């Protein structure tokens, strides 16, 4: 009965009802689109972090206090190859260890050249980073021991130097030193910080140290990368690494660490916090549109009560009670909000798809965001419809019948 009356009132004023619902439509659509963008960004960042490796722990040199000045991570070459080997032998919670030095060099193949990052690594690097091969193979321990001139290319480097031809077995030059290409890594894409993980050339650590990146840092490493035995073991592995390095570096209890440890969980939590704040901000902005739509419903319902005062008086005169009048107008406001909500859900989902296809933004539409928007629309209809409905129910029947 109440729903029928509400639909009848809406049909009598189609244009006004459509304009009233427009605010709710825009609000619900904006909520779904903004939440999907936020969740899509969060999912993309988490995927990028997972691409770093399996249960990964990063150890950087530096982060010590010198003459009262806090020195940042990586600013003091305090880590060595022996540190990495000690971690591998003495830390039970650690599964695999690799160590890395890095530099930027021009790589040349015939008449093509490409400036990229050269990483001197150990064979365990592919395991720690969980980085499979696309073609060819990774170098071995014998390549490391013999400082052989072999290279494994990232997908970006391979595409730019060889432009579709097979790089396996070809010779590239780094600092005018010939290197034989033995493999191409599977693509990993960008990191959470926007850098291209595939724009890299990997060579044996000993080769990089003695022939490419300089022997002045003999025995020193740019960073140590560790894979814990499991995700649950990451905190224990971190504790063991810290204890081993503090003993090896002869640090006293009062001394600060001369190294920095970062885990995959630390990076994930920081990224999650950032994307979470962005999602809340976008949701807050979109919610304002929905509140504005609710105010529009209240405004139109107040106008409707004024226009239909005589009708309200007639209903009361033939036996309608206050709760009947209250229910009639409350249902009318709720129906307006619900219809707007359903249309808004469709618009929001469509907008998310269009944004993803046209702008390339990662979006993730979840059932939770749709349900949240629907509940929000219901609450808006009840909250903003209650005052006009209550005002209508409190009209004096005699005064209402006299109203022109």
DSSP string spanning 361-402? ------HHHHHHHHHHHHHHHHHHHHHHHHHHHTS-HHHHHH
- Confidence band (pLDDT; 50, 70, 90) for 161? very high
Q: Would 220 be classed as within a structural domain?
A: yes
117-140: average pLDDT: 92
Instruction: Please indicate whether residue 273 or residue 341 has the higher confidence score (pLDDT).
Output: 341
H or E element that contains 121? strand 112-121
Q: Would 215 be classed as within a structural domain?
A: yes
Say if residue 98 is in the same domain as residue 209. Answer: yes
Say if residue 208 is in the same domain as residue 241. Answer: yes
Instruction: Please indicate whether residue 137 or residue 302 has the higher confidence score (pLDDT).
Output: 137
Percent of the chain with pLDDT over 70: 80
Q: Would 263 be classed as within a structural domain?
A: no
355-367: average pLDDT: 73
Say if residue 121 is in the same domain as residue 227. Answer: yes
Is residue 68 scored above 50 in pLDDT? no
How do residues 194-230 score in pLDDT, each as one tens digit? Answer: 678 899 999 999 999 888 887 556 788 999 999 888 8
pLDDT at 74: 47
Question: Which residues span the domain enclosing 166?
Answer: 79-248
How do residues 78-111 score in pLDDT, each as one tens digit? Answer: 899 999 999 999 999 999 999 999 999 999 998 8
As a three-state string, the secondary structure of 332-354 is HHHHHHHHHHHHHHHHHHHHHHH
Long-range pairs, 88-94, Cβ under 8 A, ≥24: 90/240, 90/244, 91/226, 91/237, 91/240, 91/241, 91/244, 92/229, 92/240, 93/228, 93/229, 93/233, 93/236, 93/237, 93/240, 94/57, 94/226, 94/227, 94/228, 94/229, 94/237, 94/240, 94/241
373-378: average pLDDT: 79
pLDDT at 24: 81
Say if residue 26 is in the same domain as residue 95. Answer: no
The residue length of the chain stands at 404
The least confident of 70-84, 123-137, 174-188, 322-336 is 70-84
How deeply is 340 buried, as exposed, middle or buried, from its count of CB atoms within 10 A (0-12, 13-18, 19+)? buried
Say if residue 200 is in the same domain as residue 104. Answer: yes
Say if residue 227 is in the same domain as residue 299. Answer: no
Task: Find, among 199, 172, 186, the residue nearest to 113 by Cα.
Answer: 172
Q: Which two tokens stand for residue 318?
A: 């033939």
147-167: average pLDDT: 92
Q: Would 30 be classed as within a structural domain?
A: yes
Q: Would 122 be classed as within a structural domain?
A: yes
The total domain count for the chain is 2
**What is the distance between the terminal CA atoms of the chain, rounded to a whole angstrom?**
26
Say if residue 28 is in the same domain as residue 128. Answer: no
Task: Find, among 116, 235, 248, the residue nearest to 185 by Cα.
Answer: 116
Is residue 69 scored above 50 in pLDDT? no
Q: Would 259 be classed as within a structural domain?
A: no
Is residue 64 scored above 60 in pLDDT? no
How do residues 247-293 score in pLDDT, each as one tens digit? Answer: 999 988 888 888 988 887 666 666 666 666 777 777 777 777 777 77
Contact 25, 166 (CB under 8 A): no
Q: Would 68 be classed as within a structural domain?
A: no
- Last residue in a domain, options 248, 283, 304: 248
pLDDT at 370: 81
Q: Would 70 be classed as within a structural domain?
A: no
How do residues 386-395 score in pLDDT, each as one tens digit? Answer: 777 777 777 6
Say if residue 190 is in the same domain as residue 287. Answer: no
156-182: average pLDDT: 92
Is residue 308 scored above 50 in pLDDT? yes
pLDDT at 387: 75
Most confident of 63-72, 295-304, 323-332, 338-347: 338-347
């Amino acid at each position: 009965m109440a729903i029928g009356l509400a639909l009848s009132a809406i049909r009598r004023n189609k244009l006004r009802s459509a304009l009233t619902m427009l605010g709710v439509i825009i609000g619900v659509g904006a909520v779904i689109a903004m939440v999907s963008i936020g969740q899509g960004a969060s999912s993309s960042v988490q995927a990028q972090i997972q691409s770093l490796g399996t249960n990964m722990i990063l150890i950087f040199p530096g982060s010590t206090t010198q003459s009262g000045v806090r020195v940042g991570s990586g600013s003091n070459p305090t880590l060595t190859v022996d540190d990495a080997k000690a971690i591998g032998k003495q830390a039970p919670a650690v599964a695999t260890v690799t160590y890395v030095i890095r530099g930027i060099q021009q790589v040349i193949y015939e008449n093509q050249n490409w400036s990229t990052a050269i990483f001197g690594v150990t064979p365990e690097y592919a395991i720690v980073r969980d980085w499979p091969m696309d073609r060819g193979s990774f170098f071995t321990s014998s390549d490391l021991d013999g400082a052989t001139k072999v290279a494994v290319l990232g997908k970006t480097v391979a595409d730019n130097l060889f432009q579709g031809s097979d790089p396996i077995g070809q010779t590239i030059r780094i600092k005018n030193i010939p290197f034989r290409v033995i493999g191409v890594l599977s693509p990993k894409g960008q990191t959470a910080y926007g850098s291209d993980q595939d724009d890299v050339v990997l060579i044996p650590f000993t080769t990089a140290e003695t022939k490419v990146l300089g022997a002045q840092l003999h025995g020193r490493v740019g960073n140590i990368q560790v894979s814990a035995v499991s995700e649950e073991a990451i905190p224990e592995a971190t504790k063991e690494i810290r204890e081993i390095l503090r003993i090896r570096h002869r640090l006293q209890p009062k001394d600060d660490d001369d190294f920095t440890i970062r885990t995959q969980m630390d990076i994930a939590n920081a990224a999650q916090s950032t994307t979470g704040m962005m999602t809340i901000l976008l949701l807050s902005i979109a919610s304002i549109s929905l509140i504005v739509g609710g105010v529009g419903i209240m405004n139109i319902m107040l106008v409707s009560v004024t226009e239909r005062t005589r009708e309200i008086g007639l209903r009361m005169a033939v036996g309608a009670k206050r709760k009947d009048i209250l229910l009639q107008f409350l249902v009318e406001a709720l129906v307006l909000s619900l219809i707007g909500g359903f249309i808004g859900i469709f618009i929001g989902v469509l907008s998310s798809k269009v944004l993803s296809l046209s702008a390339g933004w990662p979006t993730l539409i979840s059932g939770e965001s749709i349900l949240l928007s629907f509940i929000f629309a219901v609450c808006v209809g009840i909250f903003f419809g209650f005052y006009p409905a209550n005002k209508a129910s409190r009209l004096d029947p005699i005064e209402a019948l006299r109203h022109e």
